[in-house]
Chain A
Amino acid sequence: MIQLYHLTKVYNGRKVALNDVSFKVDEGEFVFIAGPSGAGKTTLIKLIMCEERASQGQILVDRLNLQRIKPNKIPYLRRKIGVIFQDFKLIPTRTVFQNVALRLEVQGAKRSFINKKVRVILKNVGLEGLGEALPPQLSGGEQQRVVIARAMIGDPLILLADEPTGNLDIDLSRNILNLLLDINKGGTTVLMATHNQEILQETNKRVIRLDQGRLVA
């Protein structure tokens, strides 16, 4: 599903964020990207969703070569990928419902379909009854769930999670992890970046370790 070949990303011609990284993630797999902050985890996620382009190497997502993808095809790539952003990227002036619905709206889905789908997904992530709340009124854990709901509502092939348990205590973190494991059981390929050792020990899923932009294990 995701293939990286000698991937390198250099910022401003000086700062090397990723250095010759190669690995594969199969369809339906759950993989952790582990490493301290600054290891290149977020850069890797940005490259996979084509928010940035690699300096060298090749990257294939669902057989699509991202080094050659045309700008007008990027939106369609992103519709296959759900992303849980480290900083949430929720729109504070829109309600929880509207934030989640936005992903289907930009794809041109019908209103009745959107309404039904959003209600179901909010229930699945445990946010029933909070649809009319604004993101700033919610706790960190609740906001994280809104982001997960938004990432999952388009039934993406791939879910990229960038430190989804970053600011949460261990109980809430387990909670979120279990949610992602459930999503993975449904067939979605999940790539979860984390620096949390406790979370890594919770499961026996594959771990790809990065340090200073290099693959270490």
Chain B
Amino acid sequence: MSKLIYFTRVALNNTAKNIFVSLVSIGTLSLSLLILSAFILLYTNVQNIIKSSTQDLSISVYLDDNISQADLTKLKKSLSELPQTAGINHISKSQALADLKSRFGAHGALLDGLDENPLPASLELKLKPEYRSQNLVRALIKRLENFDGVIDMGYAWEWADKLSGLLNFIKLCGLVIGGLLFLATIFIVSNTIKLTVYSRREEIYTMRLIGSTEGFIKAPFFIEGLLQGLAGGLLALIALFLIFNLLVSQIKFPLGLTVINLTFLSPTAALTLVGSGIFLGLLGSFVSLRRFMGE
């Protein structure tokens, strides 16, 4: 324990002596982690949106206004016989308009000016969980197009599909930028530690000559890297939290999209972020000591 206090004291002294370089190192570290974690935050939120929008999986089968009762009954029967079907819900034209009004909330009165109801009636086809993969849904939709009295089809995944493309793009950007930042951060931290090693090289040499073990000499440098990583990780987390809250308070969702719930990093992800900072700091020290302090 007393050794740990000693090493930490030496590490803090080293940091204080090279305060400017240390701050640059901490700053770079936190900036890298901030950018990386912003990608993760964006990714998880887009993923959440997709997940929540596809949870209630149903296909809206829009009906021709002139469909006869007999055709409707036949269609309902055919649909209910499909193995994919968990249930069918008929939504009339007036029901559709009422639903839209309620989604518009306070702006619902806007719809009162309509001369006639432009919305089609529809059958809401609920799918069994095992048929909820995108490919199966697409295949089903192709089949439904051929049914009589069906004018169009809508499903929540139409835009979820588009978001999936975006998700892949975010992932790719995150990986490429994250990877580059990762390397740059290790480079900068290792150089900061190198400067400390360099400025103390005669002292280190003397310590060796008077019986110091390599571990005793190196431990403070590892603690220095660890502390820089910890500070960088915490700074990144705080900055991300502030920016996230600022953005969430600024964003005005378009009509009907207020249900989207943006979430901050989970406690585990936040801990991982700080942990990554510590890991990067330690790795920087390790690289530096390997390169500049071989016996």
Contact = CB atoms under 8 A, between A and B. Distances in A.
A207 B56 CA distance: 98
A48 to B, nearest CB: 12
Interface in A49-68: 49, 51
Interface residues of A, number: 25
A8 B50 CA distance: 77
A111 B205 CA distance: 23
Interface string B167-204: 00000000000000000000000000000000000110
Contacts of A79: 211
A19 to B, nearest CB: 25
**Interface residue tally of chain B, by bracket?**
10 to 19
B2 A110 contact: yes
A117 interface: no
B2 A102 contact: no
B140 interface: no
Contacts of B3: 108
A9 interface: no
B142 to A, nearest CB: 72
Nearest to A107: B211
Nearest to A85: B209
Nearest to A110: B2
A182 to B, nearest CB: 21
B151 interface: no
Interface string A79-103: 1000101000111011000000011
Contacts of A71: 295
B55 interface: no
Interface string B189-230: 000000000000011011111111110100000000000000
A103 B202 contact: no
B295 A72 contact: no
A154 interface: yes
Interface of A: 49, 51, 71-72, 75-76, 78-79, 83, 85, 89-91, 93-94, 102-103, 105-108, 110-111, 150, 154
Given A78-B208, A85-B209, A105-B6, 14 more contacts: A51-B209, A72-B213, A83-B209, A83-B210, A89-B206, A90-B206, A102-B210, A106-B210, A106-B211, A106-B212, A106-B213, A108-B3, A110-B2, A154-B211
28 contacts: A49-B209, A51-B209, A72-B214, A75-B208, A75-B211, A75-B212, A75-B213, A76-B211, A78-B210, A79-B211, A83-B210, A85-B209, A89-B205, A89-B209, A90-B206, A91-B202, A91-B206, A94-B203, A103-B210, A103-B211, A106-B207, A106-B211, A106-B213, A107-B211, A108-B3, A108-B216, A110-B2, A150-B210
